[in-house]
Amino acid sequence: MTNTPTARTRAKRFHDRARYDAETVHAILDAQPNCTVAYVIDGTPYAPPTLQWREGDTIYWHGSSASRMLRQSANHQVCVSVMLFDGMVMARSAFRHSMNYRSVVIYGQFVTVDAEKDKKIAMAAFLEHVSPGRNAVARPPNAAELAGTRILRIPLAEAVAKIRNWGVEDNADDLNLPVWAGVIPLTLQAGTAQPEAGSAGYPVPSLPKSLQSERT
């Protein structure tokens, strides 16, 4: 990553929320697999939700080789967006209500991962993000499954993170209003694992680091 904003990533507003360093961008991408990948067909935007994973300064996503959206987005301009909703910011005035969040937006062109050996490495890395250690026990993909999977990647060359992680910003005039103000934090939490029949004897898969700490 370059640490330098471009015309597309330079924050126009809320400059105090924008970050361009690799450490911040990487941490957000690693904490949130959900993303949308926006692309354009005949002037119309499409932005299907999907999953991304990161290795170094590259992010990946995948789908069926038959998917129109993966065909369309390869070698075209795309915009990948990731967001974590971290808290509700409750102000004394309606106007100053806000949210705490972490987001990353990435611009650029995806390219396809073509060689079977590279696809195998990428898919194993994805599964390792989802559940560390899972590759050691799950049946690996066979040649037909790899052929049926399209994998795209994009460099983190043009990316911006935005973070709001602080309290209420009420106007000075409103500070004495008789209203509760503060932050209500939100976290994604893993519930009780629900095994399929016949699974009870095997170890429950591990969770990604971003969820582990919240599991009881």
150 closest CA partner among 44, 38, 74: 74
Q: Give the tokens for residue 72.
A: 């369309």
The stretch near a copy of itself (CB under 8 A) out of 16-24, 52-60, 110-118, 183-191 is: 183-191
Ranges within 31-60 binding a copy of itself (CB under 8 A): 33-34, 36, 38-40, 43-49, 51
The stretch near a copy of itself (CB under 8 A) out of 16-24, 52-60, 88-96, 150-158 is: 88-96
Contact (Cβ atoms closer than 8 angstroms) between residue 109 and residue 77: yes
Q: Give the tokens for residue 84.
A: 């974590």
Residue 116: CB minimum distance to a copy of itself, A: 14
Ranges within 100-129 binding a copy of itself (CB under 8 A): 101, 103, 105, 107, 123-124, 127
Contact (Cβ atoms closer than 8 angstroms) between residue 105 and residue 59: no
Residue 24: CB minimum distance to a copy of itself, A: 16
Q: Which residue(s) pair with 46 in the sheet? A: 39
Residue 156: CB minimum distance to a copy of itself, A: 16
Ranges within 124-143 binding a copy of itself (CB under 8 A): 124, 127, 130-131, 134-135, 137-142
Q: What angle do CA 48, 22, 13 make, to 5 degrees?
A: 70
Neighbouring CB atoms inside 10 A of 80's CB total 25
